[in-house]
Structure 1
Amino acid sequence: MTHLLLLADNLDMSPLAGPLTERLQPFAPNLRVCLPGDPGADTAEIAVCWNPPAGALATLPQLRLVHSIAAGVDNILSDPTLPDVPLCRVVDPAHAQGMTEFVMWGVLHFHRHFDAVLANQSKALWRRPRQIDAARRRIGVMGLGTLGARVATELHRFGFDVRGWSRERKSLPGITTFGADQFTGFCSDLDLAVCLLPLTEQTRGILGRATFDALPRGARLIHAGRGEHVVRADLLAALEDGQLGGAIVDVFDTEPLPPDDAYWRASNLIVTPHMASVASFECIGEQVAYNVQQLLSGGALRHVVDRSRGY
């Protein structure tokens, strides 16, 4: 009997048990999907995870595969006791569409000054904000992987002046791109910065005072990367003193965000509940089932993480 363990902290993984069992049953009838505490959980050969408790994976002596249920794996790689087995992630074809929709909403929110309109409505003030053409709005996308490249391309197609920054300089039609050593130049004249970076040791804390000061005063931020990209005190201070004119933040180092967190009450900050783009259970089930079948048959796994890069 082979056991697959669904393992998470602060997330109910049980809805995934049915789809996985259904997909795995035809080619792996002796595989059982289980939750922590179920019979066979401690002998699991496969762990399907979201933010697993630190040290939990190291307690599985027969572990052969760790599979994230999302594109991000930093919540798994942050565990220093992570066993040396293949780590795979989910790449949802619909993920880029969802992220593009979220970023486009955020960009339009600031570009068309809906933040000012909503503030004026609460005061019953009729004030028409000054509008400018999209071509005069400079937007910088941090991270040009699958998601970032799609977002940057769609913003360009919509008429915005788009720049992109990544560790290795990319080439995207119509978009000015920058490499790792050109970060200050990338930031220097942006109206709005969009962070879609993976979390690595190089990007941890990148949204801090040095970056905010490199942006023009009053620039806006849309952050849908990872919570650990942000230096919390620096973000709050930059919003308070006006260096940042506003921000939308979708990801946090602690989720759910506690009710007493200062983010809820920060000026010019919109908090969204990690909703920018989430893979469906159908997509997760399909990709995890494929890799489990490959593992059991000795085939090649898809979307294997390069641990040195963090993605």
Structure 2
Amino acid sequence: MTRDALVFYSPVDDPRAWKEALTSELPDLDFRVDPDVGDPATIDYALVWVPPTGFFQRFPNLKLVTNLGAGVDRLVRRDDLVPVPISRLSDPGMVALMTSYVVFAVTRYARDIHIFERAQRRGEWHYVHPRPLFEIKVGVLGLGELGAPAAQTLAGMGFDVRGWSRTQKDLPGVACSAGPEALDNLLASCEIVVSLLPLTPESRGMLGARELALMPKGAKFINASRSAVVDEAALVAALRSGAIGEATLDVFDIEPLPADHPYWTLDNVLITPHLASITVPALAARDVAESIKRVRRGEPPLHAVDAHRGY
């Protein structure tokens, strides 16, 4: 009896950890790591992260593609992928890591840690009186699988949290809104703004020079979603002028970030190398296995992606 076969591709994830975790859930699964795929026509499933152009052309009999992350912008609207179900990961480890990153970045600004870091480099004892967290308005853009837990955690810490999403959400402790006018209002009212927006045709370039100018002078901006939701040149200009006072950035138009990029020269930018949230195989494998089982039964996978919406 021929076993179902899965091809694994990722430039950053550990295939050994994934093989161990996934085959413990599905012992009958033939786990293959690209490029050692054997006969491509025998591949039924793909578990991938940022596969290169043309990757899927080799596999004519795919039944399911699972993305090794929450953002699926690299999978939708590809010309090498025939219409098959696409699922994204949604594991508690990934959610916890993203929430911890957002809490760190927001708290670093709320407690003036960035000011103390500079003072230490100058060898100065520089006191700034702490502010109560309820005075600090934090806007979270994107209230999906990652954004909603982050927003609610911040609210639980005592921050004044406002959330914005494409469609109206209802989250305890978070003032939720939707629509273009509401986005303008949120940007104008929050001193710290966190982007956890998925990259879709609608969100691409959503935060341009006009939107950044709406934010209070000296506002802090955190991006842990996709770089392309922001006009990078406009953000650089706003950071240079002080219109945006500080930024914590985990995602960039080109990665790794080129050595000559202006972000490296800006003292008011904290750069992290796209690690705000990663998948944890031991926790995520159960969902991947369940999606495969569902597809075998002719059912939709878990966390199915709407290719038209882009998430």
Normalising by the residue count of structure 1, what TM-score does the alignment of the two structures yield?
Answer: 0.91
Displacement after TM superposition at 1:229 (Å): 1.5
Aligned-pair Cα RMSD in Å: 1.9
Displacement after TM superposition at 1:93 (Å): 2.0
Partner of 1:190: 190
- Distance in structure 2 (CA, Å) of the matches to 1:140 and 1:240: 22
- Distance in structure 1 (CA, Å) of the matches to 2:270 and 2:239: 11
Displacement after TM superposition at 1:17 (Å): 2.8
Alignment of 1:105-120 (within 5 A): 105-120=104-119
Q: Tell me which amino acid in the other structure corresponds to 2:224.
A: A
Q: Secondary structure at the match of 2:294?
A: helix
- Distance in structure 2 (CA, Å) of the matches to 1:12 and 1:173: 35
Q: Secondary structure at the match of 2:146?
A: helix
Contact 1:156/1:175 (8 A) holds in 2: yes
Mind listing any 5+ residue stretches in structure 1 that lack a counterpart? none
Displacement after TM superposition at 1:138 (Å): 0.9
Which digits, 9 at most, give the CA deviation of each residue in 1:187-226, with x for residues without a partner? 1121100111111111112232122101011000111111
| Compared CA separation, residues 79 and 218, structure 1 to 2 (3 A) | same
Partner of 2:224: 224
Q: Secondary structure at the match of 1:132?
A: coil
Q: Tell me which amino acid in the other structure corresponds to 1:11.
A: V
- Distance in structure 1 (CA, Å) of the matches to 2:39 and 2:255: 29
Normalising by the residue count of structure 2, what TM-score does the alignment of the two structures yield?
Answer: 0.91
Partner of 2:199: 199
Displacement after TM superposition at 1:80 (Å): 3.3
Partner of 1:268: 268
Contact 1:5/1:44 (8 A) holds in 2: yes
Q: Tell me which amino acid in the other structure corresponds to 2:236.
A: L
| Compared CA separation, residues 174 and 296, structure 1 to 2 (3 A) | closer
Partner of 2:123: 124
- Distance in structure 2 (CA, Å) of the matches to 1:40 and 1:284: 27
Contact 1:6/1:34 (8 A) holds in 2: yes
Partner of 1:60: 59
Partner of 2:298: 298
Contact 2:90/2:145 (8 A) holds in 1: no
Which digits, 9 at most, give the CA deviation of each residue in 1:31-56, with x for residues without a partner? 34342243224542211110011121
Greater shift after overlay, 285-294 or 108-117? 285-294
- Distance in structure 2 (CA, Å) of the matches to 1:201 and 1:296: 32
Q: Secondary structure at the match of 1:145?
A: coil
Paired residues, number:
307
Alignment of 1:160-175 (within 5 A): 160-175=159-174
Displacement after TM superposition at 1:119 (Å): 0.8
Partner of 2:20: 18
Q: Secondary structure at the match of 1:20?
A: helix
Partner of 1:151: 150
Q: Which consecutive segments of 4 or more residues in structure 1 shift more than 4 A?
A: none
Contact 1:164/1:177 (8 A) holds in 2: yes
- Distance in structure 1 (CA, Å) of the matches to 2:26 and 2:172: 42
Which digits, 9 at most, give the CA deviation of each residue in 1:54-91, with x for residues without a partner? 12113311111111111111121252332100001111
Partner of 2:8: 6
Partner of 1:99: 98
- Distance in structure 1 (CA, Å) of the matches to 2:42 and 2:261: 39
Q: Secondary structure at the match of 2:122?
A: coil
Q: Secondary structure at the match of 2:152?
A: helix
| Compared CA separation, residues 258 and 295, structure 1 to 2 (3 A) | same
Q: Secondary structure at the match of 1:194?
A: strand
Partner of 2:72: 73
Q: Secondary structure at the match of 2:75?
A: helix
Q: Tell me which amino acid in the other structure corresponds to 2:256.
A: P
Partner of 2:307: 307
- Distance in structure 2 (CA, Å) of the matches to 1:96 and 1:174: 19
Contact 1:34/1:41 (8 A) holds in 2: no
- Distance in structure 2 (CA, Å) of the matches to 1:193 and 1:269: 14
- Distance in structure 1 (CA, Å) of the matches to 2:43 and 2:237: 46
Q: Tell me which amino acid in the other structure corresponds to 1:52.
A: P
